[in-house]
Amino acid sequence: MHLETPYPTLRWDIFCRVIDNFGDIGVCWRLACHLAQRGQSVRLWVDDASALGWMAPLGAPGVTVLAWTAPLNLTSITPGDVLVEAFGCQIDPDFIATYAYSIRARGTKCLWINLEYLSAEPFVERCHGLPSPVMSGPGIGLTKHFFYPGFTPRTGGLLREADLLKRQASFDRNAWLQRQGLNWQGERLVSLFCYEPAGLADLLERLAQDEQATCLLVTPGRAQAAVKAEILNKMRLQPSWNKRGKLSFLYLKKLSQADFDHLLWACDVNFVRGEDSLVRALWAGKPLVWQIYPQDDAAHAAKLAAFLDWLQAPPGLGYFHQHWNGLASSVASGEKPVFAPQDWQACVTQARARLLAQPDLTSQLLGFCSKSH
């Protein structure tokens, strides 16, 4: 798919380090693809591209993936027009020096974007778009600009494909589930993409006791390991915990980004983790629960609270998030939250509508670079 675009064609160098759990490369790959679909020339520099083998097995037209090695071999490389430094990954000084020389020789402006992490906290609106002059090193005299993804009109927005709604409308739920090996009989479908959430044991118990049958579609890796460990523990302590068979499991294989979207569209409730999957769950428009990446200084608690405030989450959904994430107030009380997705749907539907009314991140980034070029 190639879209008509009012923006000039620029050459982009996106730098990404894979820190943990593939969220960074997931966001960078989506961005690279969206830019290429709009006629841009994109190189994605990544220190570990192995996840793209299953995340994007077919690659993407207009996107070149390059190994970000140390030292970086710049013998035959000319830096592009735009540098994207994703999530504070710090581009190599030699590349910065070559970029600085190149744009000065061409007489073009510096387009150096510091793509930040997603947050709903108030500082995002204050800091989005701010310049950051480089005061030392090979880039001295250049200026970076902070670009913050976000949920409100005064931020950089969220990644969203131009044909997202069309693809959702044509999605065949039954056919996709059959391809995953599930002969769906109308039971409630719940996706699980998580780390090791504090509330997992309670969720499994709640679903096993529910009158409505549920199939839990579990993603590979840490989610499957956590579920299997919890089931073994329950069988040891209470062998009859799921004796009525109300809760069943489908252990999924690794999914491409497209099929991860399909998983979220197919399910009635989505448990997601990190940032990229949170955005995809919002676009899916189904009740969702987010496991935020834990931080040692507990900064994730404020980040989660800010998101729930923006979401206008009802109290029950807020409490469920606290418990799922093991935050002190819910754990200390000992009270188990109520799993009530029917009460959570309205706020997600309204939040999705607000987001759809705002420009997507790629459009905003192209507009920013076009005005600055």
Task: Give average pLDDT by consecutive 10-residue segment, the chain, 373 residues.
Answer: 75 92 90 97 96 95 94 87 95 95 94 97 97 95 97 98 97 98 97 96 97 98 97 96 97 97 98 96 98 86 96 96 84 78 98 98 96 75
Q: Which domains does the chain have, with CATH numbers?
A: 11-157+359-372 (3.40.50), 164-356 (3.40.50)
pLDDT at 276: 94
pLDDT at 326: 92
Q: Is 256:56 a contact under the CB 8 Å cutoff?
A: yes
Catalytic status, residue 24: yes
Helix (H, G, I), strand (E, B) or coil at 234: helix
Catalytic status, residue 161: no
pLDDT at 293: 86
pLDDT at 4: 58
Catalytic residue among 85, 121, 261, 275: 275
Give burial (CB, 10 Å; 0-12/13-18/19+) of 6. exposed
Cα separation, 126 vs 245, in Å, equals: 51
Which residue is associated with the tokens 């299953």?
A: 54
pLDDT at 334: 65
pLDDT at 5: 67
φ/ψ of residue 66, rounded to 5: -120, 145
pLDDT at 23: 85
Q: Is 249:230 a contact under the CB 8 Å cutoff?
A: no
Catalytic residue among 24, 85, 116, 276: 24
pLDDT at 58: 95
**Helices 345-356 and 299-311, packing angle to 10 deg:** 90
Global confidence as pTM? 0.95
